[in-house]
Amino acid sequence: MKLQKLLSYVRRAVDDYDMIEKGDCIAVGISGGKDSICLLIALRHLQRFYPKSFQLKAITVSLGLPGADYSDIQALCDSLGVEYIVVQTDIGAIIFDERKEKNPCSLCAKMRKGALHTAAVEAGCNKVALGHNKDDVVETFFMSLFYEGRMNCFSPVSFLDRTGLTSIRPLIYVPEWECRSYVRENSIQIVKNPCLADGNTKRQETKELLADLSKQYDHLQEKVFGAICRSDLKGWKKPVSHTEKT
């Protein structure tokens, strides 16, 4: 995938859901994986010509697990001219050593999100950009259906009452394979996930199930994503002005 195509996906999402306003200071959550890296690069390039001026800061929440090296991310941020903040935590030890969680993902996500939000506020940011892609949207919808018995999905834009931050997800139109393609074609180094549960999660199970179903039902994920966009799920209805244009 070329940068121009990545930017077109991100610009459309930002415009469709009014994700960015003039004067915003946006903390980009950087895990070090392909999605968050694509998000950072896209927003940095968008920043250069977008009519509403905004600031960017990159924030990584380290779980404190061995093997995580963020030096390549620091180098990328330096090349982009974006301030990079690494928040050191003991989340990994708390989950795997102290609590010995059998299903750690939910608790880990909550703790990482809390640390990210705290760091964003301390850094003077009013928004947090998260790297959820198009596949994540569909997978989250099915996970909510399968494991919670309800039709739900995260919103493109969410106001967080406790912190006063707004979370935005500019990658919602970007298929996962295109993020993978962009990183590979541009020889960008990603950080291998040091989490002990990596590859053995409910999300991975859902991803594999959808891959199997897609062999039987053509364009399954595209159809489900379209249904989510047209649904009454909270946050997914575009502002009237944008709906009239499409």
The full set of domain ranges for the chain reads 3-245
**What 8-state DSSP symbol labels residue 202?**
H
Q: Is 6 in contact with 42 (CB distance < 8 Å)?
A: yes
E-strand spans in the chain?
24-29, 54-62, 83-88, 127-129, 157-160, 165-168
| pLDDT by residue, tens only, the chain of 246 residues | 789 999 999 999 999 999 999 999 999 999 989 999 999 999 999 999 999 999 999 999 988 777 778 999 999 999 999 999 999 988 877 877 655 556 677 788 889 999 999 999 999 999 999 999 999 999 999 999 999 999 999 999 999 999 999 999 999 999 999 999 999 999 998 887 666 566 568 888 999 999 999 999 999 999 999 999 999 999 999 876 655 454
pLDDT at 239: 77
- 234 vs 155: CA distance, rounded Å: 7
Crossing angle of the two packed helices 34-47 and 176-185, in degrees rounded to 10 = 80
Within 8 A by CB and 6+ apart from 152, the residues are 141, 144, 233
- 59 vs 30: CA distance, rounded Å: 6
Question: Phi, psi (5° rounding) for residue 88?
Answer: -85, 130
How many other C-beta atoms lie within 10 A of the C-beta of residue 76? 22
pLDDT at 238: 86
Q: What is this structure's pTM?
A: 0.91
pLDDT at 175: 96
pLDDT at 231: 93
In 48-104, alpha helices (H): 71-80, 91-93
Q: Is 55 helix (H, G, I), strand (E, B) or coil?
A: strand
Within 8 A by CB and 6+ apart from 194, the residues are 63, 65, 66, 67, 68, 92
Q: Which CATH number fits domain 3-245: 3.40.630.30, 3.40.50.620, 3.30.1010.10, 3.40.50.720?
A: 3.40.50.620
pLDDT at 15: 97
